[in-house]
């Protein structure tokens, strides 16, 4: 992966599910991020396991914007058992529906009808509700597979935003491309099925015509549906040598699909005139790449597999079969003027599978399938040393969104206006972890410090600059605030009038807080506590009459459940003063 | 509790005759499988491990019922495998096996055997010892002959032999009275002679992409047949007895040499899909069939 990006390992094989028991199986494949309420920071992650028997993991997860890491809150296995579904097998790629469900695909064509329902048990698309982690029902009082879309070695499913059109391809067997048009929006249990036939055959994998048409494939009975592969062949479907993923360019609406055997990604327009503009979009050639060590020419090779477009129309291509690259093909790429890059490659022995993005395209999820057990450790975004020796998924993003970050510097003083000689307490409130810091208090005593909380005195009246430089392993940042502290000579009026002789301590405190008033000529005291948003938290004193010289002590422990800064407001005979108090657990 | 366990043990395997049992864990390495004691490991998945033979001490997993060795590099059988006498499911799909030994027949509890996509030229005679075998998948091999003993696998319900080099139907096929699904597509069959009338349970028959020129009249005796795939043969006619397939809902005869169709097709009242494409059939012949089968989609 380029230095501009980081990854975080998620949900490795062998992890215990948090719900329902069992451990995460191997061969992670398609990863579908399904947002909750459109969020790009909280959602479900559906992960296929291309195993026999197969499986799908359902995760609840969120992005911790403080730690800049994704957190898995829950995980469970989708239940395919029982007589209705019997089982699932080799869950390969899939698709996300516009209505928020996920489709897992069974990349197998094994024969057998255990439950005698007339349908072979595997070789179907299966729609899953990510909220319940259950297979969908379609009005028959039981979970069902998507029989009407037909039975082949399904590799994937693309569902268009019209909520009725679905594309899927067969990896092996007929190697045909299929299109399904549902009778009703959001209901894939019935509809018409078609397969693509080009008007002229491929010649050594290259199209010899730009047009084709959809041939309807009967899918009325269980026998039709069980035999989709055979029907497609009988009806003259074009064989594309192992179709992998299908995706739609969000900018042009053109359909793109990968042929693994041909090592090509084809594109076409599916419009009112049928299939037009059919051509090879990328592949079947070598491309000149600019790398950090100079230009290289890299053959595209075979094995282009999972596809996904980003919001700018770039096509991300995940490849298996040796290269195991993640390619990015620019939106303006043509075979005559190639615009192709390699984004990354996977650890030894592993193929990258199943990329999907969050709705804002800041994060991407994919899987590292079947890595070798001799890979060397590397650090992921958590800072931990991890070794890809089992299958897992990863989330990746730009560096500034994932993992440790340089400090974002911030500080506060408990008082900004202070009589000459009185203490000012400065607190470092920088985020992202500070390993080293340097304060510079212009005109103050001390003039520099490296502590997180510093008490400073100013000997002369004036306005003073404060500077804080903070650093960690990721970098450093400096914050300078001019005229931040005003040191005054007189305390005759207003707040200044009660500042002299007022002491609030200890500060920081884990709960017990004392207020000392040295002046005896005030009699009526009110003490209130606010948070930094101005919300009133508690009244400690209201119109206390016997306030005199002495120390008053309060328990703020209930407010100190978390680290926070609160504002203590003192009203003394109508004069007001404030102090920032740092509460620590 | 005991009753629940008993029910689980008795019923669970029956429910998943062809697949792994969801009620039991699937181990993915021998070391961890050997640590399991109560209960002992019953299911082991060693798929895609570049294995040439069983990992050491696998054979000590005497309670193993399900073993997945798909996607490895086996060229020859490992005799250790024959010691796993409790196996009911064995998946050797996508290896490089060239032959199987007689000791295969020792795995007498096998119900499911997947040999798809290997390099097998034949199966051992001892396959016939697998009396409990219910599913045999051996497609995408180089099989050019089958052992007579296969006919002794009387419990076979699903036999998938597609994409081989078979020029004859399995000897004694008619003895497989429980057979429901038979796939012999993409072979070298020149004829389809068998005592079809004995295969009373057969619902799916795939003979596509062979070199069959005629169908025997007794094909009409397959009283439960629901789908018949004959795409890509050399059929010049269909026997009138095809009209006796009263349960048939799908008939595909695309890409043959058919010039006419028997009038008896009209008796196929349950037929819903008939695919005739790729035959030198006159247009009026096709229209006649359409008219005779008003509830059927004729393509």
Query: Testing the interface with B: which of A20, A80, A111, A194 to mutate, by most B Cβ within 10 A?
Result: A111
User: Does residue A209 sit in the same domain as residue A90?
Assistant: yes
What chain B residue is nearest to A370 in terms of C-alpha separation?
B48
Contacts with A87 from chain B: Cβ below 8 Å? 16, 19-20, 22
User: Does residue A528 sit in the same domain as residue A480?
Assistant: no
A22 close to B (CB below 8 A): yes
What DSSP assignment string belongs to A355-397?
Answer: EEE-TTSS-EEEEEES--TTPPPEE-TTS-EE---S-EEEEEE
User: Does residue A378 sit in the same domain as residue A432?
Assistant: no
Please write the tens of the pLDDT for every residue from A28-62.
Answer: 999 999 999 999 999 999 999 988 788 999 999 99
Which pairing describes strands B89-91 and B66-68: parallel, antiparallel, or unpaired? parallel
pLDDT band at A415 (very low <50, low <70, confident <90, very high): confident
A550: β partners? A517
Long-range CB contacts for residues B130-133, cutoff 8 Å, separation at least 24: B130/B104, B130/B105, B131/B155, B132/B88, B132/B108
For residues B230-246, average pLDDT: 97
User: Does residue A450 sit in the same domain as residue A570?
Assistant: no
Boundaries of domain holding A578: 498-585
Find the range with the poorest average confidence among A26-40, A232-246, A358-372, A536-550. Answer: A536-550
**Is residue B274 domain-resident?**
yes
**Is residue B151 domain-resident?**
yes
Contact B250 A370 (CB under 8 A): no
Minimum-distance CB partner of B18 among A81, A83, A114: A114
A373 close to B (CB below 8 A): no
**Is residue B143 domain-resident?**
yes
User: Does residue A458 sit in the same domain as residue A353?
Assistant: no
**Is residue B2 domain-resident?**
no
The confidence score (pLDDT) of residue A522 equals 57
Q: Is the pLDDT of residue A498 over 70?
A: no
The confidence score (pLDDT) of residue B13 equals 38
A218 close to B (CB below 8 A): yes
- State the burial class of residue B50 (Cβ atoms within 10 Å of its Cβ: 0-12, 13-18, 19+): exposed
User: Does residue A239 sit in the same domain as residue A158?
Assistant: yes
Contact B47 A51 (CB under 8 A): yes
Integer angstrom CA distances of residue B99 from A515, B76, B274: 91, 7, 40
Contacts with A123 from chain B: Cβ below 8 Å? none
- Between A and B, how many residue pairs show a Cβ–Cβ distance under 8 A? 114
Q: How far apart are CA A361 and CA A367, in angstroms?
A: 17
**Is residue B288 domain-resident?**
yes
For residues B175-199, average pLDDT: 96
For residues A337-348, average pLDDT: 92
A114 close to B (CB below 8 A): yes
Please write the tens of the pLDDT for every residue from B111-150.
Answer: 999 999 999 999 999 999 999 999 999 999 999 999 999 9
What chain A residue is nearest to B157 in terms of C-alpha separation?
A112
Contact B26 A218 (CB under 8 A): no
Contact B297 A220 (CB under 8 A): yes
For residues A233-250, average pLDDT: 95
For residues A138-150, average pLDDT: 97
Please write the tens of the pLDDT for every residue from A90-125.
Answer: 899 999 999 999 999 999 888 889 899 999 999 999
Give A223 to chain B, closest Cα distance, Å. Answer: 6
Q: Of A20, A23, A55, A61, which is closest to residue A42 (Cα–Cα)? A: A61
Domain boundary among A369, A401, A433: A401
A236 close to B (CB below 8 A): yes
pLDDT band at A493 (very low <50, low <70, confident <90, very high): very low
User: Does residue A452 sit in the same domain as residue A345?
Assistant: no
pLDDT band at A492 (very low <50, low <70, confident <90, very high): very low
Q: Is the pLDDT of residue A8 over 90?
A: yes
Q: Where are the beta strands (DSSP E) in A65-122?
A: 69-77, 91-96, 102-106
User: DSSP class of residue B2?
Assistant: H
Domain boundary among A454, A489, A524: A489
What chain A residue is nearest to B24 in terms of C-alpha separation?
A22
CATH number at residue A421: 2.60.40.10
Minimum-distance CB partner of A86 among B19, B26, B70: B19
User: Does residue A478 sit in the same domain as residue A548?
Assistant: no
Q: What are phi and psi of A286, to 5 degrees?
A: -105, 150
**Is residue B89 domain-resident?**
yes
Boundaries of domain holding B147: 24-298
Give B24 to chain A, closest Cα distance, Å. Answer: 10
User: DSSP class of residue B165?
Assistant: -
Domain boundary among A489, A512, A536: A489
Contacts with B48 from chain A: Cβ below 8 Å? 27, 370
Contact A121 B20 (CB under 8 A): no
User: Does residue A394 sit in the same domain as residue A419?
Assistant: no
User: Does residue A349 sit in the same domain as residue A384?
Assistant: yes
Contacts with B17 from chain A: Cβ below 8 Å? 114
Integer angstrom CA distances of residue B158 from A106, A283, A525, B184: 20, 40, 91, 11
A173 close to B (CB below 8 A): no
Q: Is the pLDDT of residue A552 over 80?
A: yes
Sheet of strand A42-49: strand arrangement: A28-35, A42-49, A55-64, A69-77
Q: Is the pLDDT of residue B55 over 60?
A: yes
Contact A227 B227 (CB under 8 A): yes
Contact A111 B158 (CB under 8 A): yes
CATH number at residue A31: 2.120.10.30
Q: CB of A29 within 8 A of CB of A19?
A: no
For residues A243-272, average pLDDT: 95
The confidence score (pLDDT) of residue A510 equals 87
Q: Is the pLDDT of residue A126 over 70?
A: yes
CATH number at residue A575: 2.60.40.2550
A81 close to B (CB below 8 A): yes
Q: Is the pLDDT of residue B12 over 50?
A: no
User: Please, what is the average pLDDT of chain A?
Assistant: 91
Q: Is the pLDDT of residue A140 over 70?
A: yes
Q: Is the pLDDT of residue A186 over 90?
A: yes
Count of structural domains within chain B: 1
**Is residue B225 domain-resident?**
yes
User: Does residue A388 sit in the same domain as residue A505?
Assistant: no
Please write the tens of the pLDDT for every residue from A200-226.
Answer: 999 999 999 999 999 999 999 999 999
Contacts with A86 from chain B: Cβ below 8 Å? 16, 19
Contacts with A195 from chain B: Cβ below 8 Å? none
User: Does residue A417 sit in the same domain as residue A345?
Assistant: no
CATH number at residue B117: 3.80.10.10
**Is residue B7 domain-resident?**
no
Count of structural domains within chain A: 3
**Choice between A495 and A212, residue whose per-residue pLDDT is larger:** A212
């Amino acid at each position: 992966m380029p230095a501009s990006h980081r990854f975080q390992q998620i949900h490795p094989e062998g992890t215990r599910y948090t719900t329902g028991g069992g451990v995460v199986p191997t061969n992670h494949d398609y990863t579908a991020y399904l947002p909750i309420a459109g969020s790009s920071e909280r959602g479900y992650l559906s992960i296929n396991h291309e195993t026999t028997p197969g499986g799908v993991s359902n995760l609840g997860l969120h992005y911790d914007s403080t730690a800049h890491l994704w957190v898995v809150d829950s995980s469970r296995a989708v239940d395919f058992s029982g007589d209705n579904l019997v089982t699932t097998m080799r869950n390969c790629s899939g698709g996300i529906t516009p209505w928020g469900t996920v489709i897992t695909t069974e990349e197998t064509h094994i024969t057998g009808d255990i439950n005698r329902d007339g349908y072979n048990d595997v070789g179907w698309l299966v729609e899953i509700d990510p909220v319940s982690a259950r297979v969908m029902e379609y009005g028959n009082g039981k979970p069902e597979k998507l029989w009407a879309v037909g039975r082949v070695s399904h590799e994937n499913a693309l569902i268009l935003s019209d909520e009725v059109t679905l594309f899927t391809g067969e990896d092996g067997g007929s190697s045909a491309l299929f299109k399904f048009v549902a009778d009703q929006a959001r209901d894939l249990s019935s509809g018409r099925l078609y397969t693509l036939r080009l008007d002229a055959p491929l010649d050594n994998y290259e199209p010899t015509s730009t047009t084709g048409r959809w041939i309807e494939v009967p899918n009325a009975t269980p026998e039709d549906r069980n035999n989709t592969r055979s029907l497609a062949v009988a009806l003259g479907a074009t064989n594309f040598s192992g179709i992998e993923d299908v995706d739609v360019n969000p900018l042009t609406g053109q359909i793109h699909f990968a042929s693994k055997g041909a090592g090509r990604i084809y594109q076409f327009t599916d419009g009112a005139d049928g299939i037009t503009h059919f051509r090879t979009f990328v592949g079947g050639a070598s491309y000149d790449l600019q790398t950090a060590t100079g230009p290289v020419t890299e053959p595209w090779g075979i094995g282009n597999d999972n596809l996904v477009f980003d919001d700018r129309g770039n096509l991300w291509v995940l490849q298996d079969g040796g290269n195991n690259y993640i390619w990015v093909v620019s939106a303006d790429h043509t075979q005559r003027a190639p615009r192709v890059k390699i984004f990354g490659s996977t650890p030894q022995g592993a193929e990258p599978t199943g990329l999907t993005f969050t709705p804002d395209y800041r994060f991407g999820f994919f899987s590292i399938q079947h890595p070798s057990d001799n890979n060397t450790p590397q650090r992921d975004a958590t800072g931990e040393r991890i070794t890809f020796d089992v299958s897992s998924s990863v989330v990746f993003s730009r560096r500034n969104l994932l993992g440790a970050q340089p400090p974002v510097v911030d500080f506060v003083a408990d008082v900004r206006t202070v009589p000459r000689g009185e203490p000012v307490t400065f607190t470092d409130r920088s985020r992202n972890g500070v390993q080293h810091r340097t304060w510079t208090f212009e005109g103050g005593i001390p003039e520099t410090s490296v502590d997180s909380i510093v008490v400073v005195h100013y000997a002369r009246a004036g306005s003073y600059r404060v500077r804080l430089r903070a650093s960690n392993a990721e970098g450093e940042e400096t914050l300078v605030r001019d005229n931040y502290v005003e040191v005054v000579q007189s305390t005759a009026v207003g707040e200044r009038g009660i500042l002299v002789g007022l002491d609030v301590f200890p500060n920081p405190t884990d709960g017990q807080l004392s207020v000392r008033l040295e002046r005896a000529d005030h009699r009526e005291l009110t003490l209130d506590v606010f948070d930094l948003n101005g919300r009133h938290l508690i009244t400690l004193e209201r119109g206390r009459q016997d306030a005199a010289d002495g120390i008053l002590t309060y328990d703020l422990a209930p407010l100190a459940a978390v680290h926070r800064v609160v504002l203590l407001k003192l009203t003394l005979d109508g004069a007001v003063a404030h102090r920032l108090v740092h509460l620590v657990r | 509790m005991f009753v629940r366990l008993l029910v689980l043990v008795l019923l669970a395997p029956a429910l998943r005759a062809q697949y792994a049992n969801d009620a039991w864990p699937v181990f993915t390495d021998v070391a961890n499988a050997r640590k399991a004691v109560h209960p002992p490991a019953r299911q082991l998945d060693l798929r895609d491990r570049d294995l040439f033979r069983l990992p050491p001490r696998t054979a000590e997993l005497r309670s193993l019922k399900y073993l997945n060795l798909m996607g490895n590099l086996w060229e020859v059988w490992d005799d250790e495998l024959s010691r796993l006498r409790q196996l009911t499911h064995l998946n050797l799909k996508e290896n490089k096996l060239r032959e199987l030994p007689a000791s295969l027949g020792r795995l007498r509890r096998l119900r499911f055997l997947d040999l798809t996509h290997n390099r097998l030229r034949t199966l051992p005679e001892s396959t016939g010892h697998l009396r409990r075998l219910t599913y045999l998948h051996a497609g995408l091999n180089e099989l050019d002959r089958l052992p007579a003993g296969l006919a002794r696998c009387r419990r076979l319900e699903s036999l998938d032999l597609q994409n081989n080099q078979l020029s004859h139907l399995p000897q004694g096929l008619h003895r497989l009275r429980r057979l429901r699904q038979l796939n012999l597509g993409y072979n070298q069959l020149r004829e389809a002679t068998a005592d079809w009338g004995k295969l009373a349970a057969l619902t799916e028959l795939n003979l596509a992409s062979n070199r069959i020129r005629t169908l025997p009249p007794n094909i009409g005796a397959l009283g439960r047949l629901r789908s018949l795939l004959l795409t890509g043969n050399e059929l010049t006619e269909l026997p009138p007895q095809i009209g006796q397939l009263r349960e048939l809902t799908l008939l595909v005869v695309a890409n043959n040499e058919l010039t006419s169709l028997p009038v008896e097709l009209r008796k196929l009242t349950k037929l819903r899909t008939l695919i005739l494409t790729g035959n030198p059939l006159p247009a009026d012949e096709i229209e006649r069939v359409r008219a005779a089968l008003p509830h059927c989609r004729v393509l």
